[in-house]
Amino acid sequence: MKAMAIGVLAAIAMASLAAPWIAPFDPNALDIANRLAEFGPTHPLGTDHLGRDELSRLLHGGRSTILLAVIATAATLGVGIVFGAVSGYFGGKVDHAIQSLVLLFQGLPRISFMLAIAGVMGPGPFTLFIAVVVTSWADFARIVRAETLKIREEPYIEAVRALGASPGYVMTFYVVPNLIGPMVVLFTVEIGRMILAIAALSFLGLGLQPPTADWGIMISDSRPYFRSAPLLMIAPGLCIAITTFAINLLGDSLRDRLDTRMDGHPVVL
Partner 1 sequence: MGAIAAHIGGRLATALPVLIGATLIAFLLGVIAPGDPAREALSQGGGLEPSIEQLAAMREQLGLDAPLPVQYAAWLGRVVQGDFGQSYITRQPVAEELLRRLPVTLQLATWAVFIAAFFGIGGGMVMGYFHGGAIDHAGRVFSLALLSIPGFWLAILLILVFAEILQVLPTSGYGTWQQMILPAVVLSSSTAAMLMRLSRAVMLEVMSQPYIITARAKGLSEPVIVVRHALRNMLIPLVTVIGNHAGEIFGGAIVVEVIFALPGLGRLAVSGIFQRDYPVIQGYVLVAAFVYIAFNLLIDLLYTLIHPQIRFGGGIK
Partner 2 sequence: MSTATATDPLLQIRGLSVGFPTRAGTVMAVDDVNLSIGKRETFGLIGETGSGKSVLGMAVMRLLPNSARIGGAIMLEGIDILTLDPEATRRLRGGSIGLVPQNPGSSLNPVLRVGTQIGEAVRLHRGVSGREAGQVVHDLLDRMGLPEPEKTARQYPFQLSGGMRQRVLTAIGIAGQPALLIADEPTKGLDAIIRGQVIETLHKAARETKASMLVITHDLQVAEQLCDRVGVMYAGKILEIQTAERLFSAPQHPYTKALLNATPRKGLVPLPGTAPGLFDRPPGCVFAPRCGLVEIACGEDQAMRGMNGGAQVRCRLHAG
CB of 268: closest distance to partner 2 in angstroms?
Answer: 5
Q: Determine the Cα–Cα distance for residues 53 and 81; give it in Å rounded to an integer.
A: 43
| b/e map 135-151, b = 16+ CB within 10 Å | bbbbbbbbbbbebbeeb
Pairwise CA distance, residues 68 & 132, whole Å: 10
Among 7, 20, 109, 210, binds partner 1 (CB under 8 A): 109
Residue 110 found at the interface with partner 1 (CB under 8 A): yes
Q: How far is the CB of 148 from partner 1 (least distance, A)?
A: 22
**Are the beta carbons of 101 and 122 closer than 8 angstroms?**
no
Residue 18 touches which of partner 2, partner 1, none (Cβ within 5-8 Å per kind): none
| Interface region with partner 2, contact rule CB under 8 A, candidates 74-82, 194-202, 214-222, 261-269 | 261-269
Residue 264 touches partner 2, criterion: CB under 8 A: no
- Please give the Cα distance from 108 to 168 (Å, whole number): 32
How many residues bind partner 2 (CB under 8 A)? The answer is 3
* Between 183 and 206, CB nearer to partner 1: 206
Of 163 and 269, the one with the shorter C-beta distance to partner 2 is: 269
Residues 20-39, mask of contacts with partner 2 (x by CB under 8 A): --------------------
- What's the rounded Cα separation, in Å, for the pair 183 and 81? 9
Under the rule (CB under 8 A), what is the footprint of partner 1? 100, 103-105, 107-123, 192, 196, 199-200, 203-206, 216, 219, 223, 226-227, 230, 233-234, 237, 240-242, 244-245, 247-249, 252, 262-263, 265-266, 268
